[in-house]
Homo-oligomer: A and B are copies of this chain.
Amino acid sequence: MRDAYHEELQALNDQLVEMTRLVGSAINRATTALLDADLTLAESVIVADDAVDALRDDLDRRAMDLLARQQPVASDLRVIVTTLKMSADLERMGDLARHVARAARRRFPDPAVPAPLRATVVEMGQVAELLVAKAGAVIASHDVEEALQVERDDDEMDRLHRELFASLLDVTSPYSIEAAIDVTLVSRYYERFADHAVAVARRVVFLVTGQQPQDVAEHV
């Protein structure tokens, strides 16, 4: 039977998973708002980020409270401190989804992404969503092998990021400076979103094993 303390730890973990769900929904809707120049949707993403921040604040308060009351050592201490770091990553991913939505709002009613670049941005949105879904799955499962896999998926985001820059620089299809600024920033937001999803997965490896992913990966 689980004791009250471990139930509280489990509740923190559930809250992290809930954050991945909110943030996954945010990046999905932000991508749609960006590509469809949908102002209402963009504003709903911007407003909804407050819920992610509130969840992070609540989670951090509960984690601090657990630290103070239970005085954990060894692996339990590692779990709580790592949870605080994961909540910071997820909160930041919420900010980045909001930044994408703001880029859509800034250019409304024009689309911020020129038509020839849309397909790459669609893919970036899909990879971002996949990465946060996988991060959520590994938080729930504590599966180390699955966590190590997330890093490899991030290579796809880096490839798309480079592809977008190459397209912008393609002299046969000249873009405006405004489009270049917008696309550069948006691409950077997706790339950072993916980096944080990878960071979350890496933290699960540390949380479970007490070792850094590179040291674990050698033995898997």
Contacts and interface: CB of A to CB of B under 8 A. Distances in A.
Interface in A159-187: 165, 168-169, 174-175, 177-178, 180-181, 184-185
Contact of A74 (B68, B78, B84, B181): B68
Secondary structure type dominating chain A contacts? helix
A1 interface: no
Contacts of A81: 64, 67, 81, 84
Contacts of A84: 81, 84-85
Interface in A128-171: 165, 168-169
Contacts of A168: 177, 181
A67 B77 CA distance: 8
Contact of A188 (B71, B73, B169, B185): B185
A178 B185 contact: no
A88 interface: yes
Interface in A173-208: 174-175, 177-178, 180-181, 184-185, 188
Given A64-B77, A64-B78, A68-B73, 18 more contacts: A68-B74, A68-B77, A71-B73, A84-B84, A85-B88, A88-B88, A168-B177, A168-B181, A169-B178, A174-B177, A175-B177, A177-B180, A180-B181, A180-B184, A184-B184, A184-B185, A185-B188, A188-B188
